[in-house]
Structure 1
Amino acid sequence: MPTPSPYAHPDVAALIALALAEDVGAGDLTCRALVGAGSRLSGTITAKEAGIVCGLELFALVFARVSGRQGGIELTAMAADGACVTPGTVVLR
């Protein structure tokens, strides 16, 4: 039997909601003023220092929660959890 994800616990969703409520609140005023509602944006998460990738599943859960309010967000992992990365390595797109 596969081990369930630790992120499947209901407390995780509640903590994500609390963190976003505190951090995002009513939204980013600058972003709302400069970026139209139908805009499609792209970006990357890049390692600033050498390290080990972890938390991609949690990252995806947070952005799924954000996308529920702001339209779809697509994430492409360029490195896996547990991967060693060097400065400049693109981890997510």
Structure 2
Amino acid sequence: MVLDLALPEGGEWIVILVIVVLLFGAKKLPELTRNVARSMKEFEKARREGDSPPAQITRPAAETDEAADSQDSADRRGTAEVNSGGAQGVGQ
């Protein structure tokens, strides 16, 4: 047995509307529809952004050189601290 589901027609929409008003109240309906509309707009925006290829972010060469230098110096300091701290902690 295959069920043939169709969209509500005529009087069925009135019954559905009455049930919705009873469940949510007349004061909440405008807020509810606003939130649904915002969600739909945000979804569409995200979907459109997802279809386009991502833009590549490039940094100026000076910025990347400075970041690499600061990372190297931090690595060197961390290694020196571990080596000197480990030897003192074990012997004492």
- TM tier, shorter chain? under 0.3
Structure 2 length as normaliser, TM-score? 0.25
Structure 1 length as normaliser, TM-score? 0.25
**Bigger radius of gyration among the two:** 2
Higher relative contact order (CA 8 A, sep 6+): 1
Judging by fraction of residues, say which structure has more strand: 1
Judging by fraction of residues, say which structure has more helix: 2
